[in-house]
Amino acid sequence: MQKTVNHSPRKYYAGSMGYVNKDDLEVISDIEQLFKDYKLKNHLSFEQTPKILIPNINVMMGDEKWCFPRGASRILPFYDVFPVAFFYSQGSVDYSYKNYKSQICENFNEKWLADRNIKYLFVPSDMGDRCINRFQNLLQSKKIIFNKNNCYFIEIF
């Protein structure tokens, strides 16, 4: 039995984890410049360097608990930007599924974030089923540093 293979390119399909568009890349470029300026003026230790919170989707797969980044949050750590918090639990033991769920999803705990120097929030154009408590309130009440259409870089504190 011969299988048919579709060789035509997929258009307008980004899969289940969202897409990256030109707006995201422009905001990421702005963040890179901000980080470049920061590095010139400051000593870079992990604790002292501000971090960027990225939106995640909490998923249970059997007994495993995962935080999956969505949209352009998936590519942000591969650019020369501030360290990213909650990218597949890398960077600190604090960046766990349990902490994301309790400190970000169920209660956007600014003190907990400030204690860990997670100062910024990157909001990609494709947010999908993000898990950030009081998200609309954050957009209205916090300082927006960079914005391009539906992509934002926000100062949390």
Domain-embedded: residue 10: no
Give the highest mean pLDDT range of 18-22, 66-70, 88-92, 101-105: 101-105
146 DSSP β-pair partners: 153
Task: Give the model's pLDDT for residue 12.
Answer: 56
Give the other-Cβ count within 10 Å of 28's Cβ: 23
Place of tokens 């909650």: 86
Domain-embedded: residue 4: no
Burial class (CB in 10 A: 0-12, 13-18, 19+), 69: buried
Task: Enter the pTM of the model.
Answer: 0.88
Burial class (CB in 10 A: 0-12, 13-18, 19+), 127: buried
Helix (H/G/I), strand (E/B), else coil: 58: strand
Domain-embedded: residue 12: no
Long-range pairs of 89-96 with CB within 8 A, sequence gap ≥ 24? 91/46, 91/51, 92/116
64 DSSP β-pair partners: 61
Task: Provide the pLDDT confidence category of residue 70 given band limits of 50, 70 and 90.
Answer: confident
Mean pLDDT confidence for 74-97: 95
**How many domains does the chain divide into?**
1
Each residue's pLDDT tens digit, 35-59: 999 999 988 788 899 999 999 999 9
Is the model more confident about 3 or about 104? 104
* Parent domain of 66: 22-155
Each residue's pLDDT tens digit, 2-34: 777 766 665 555 566 678 999 999 999 999 999
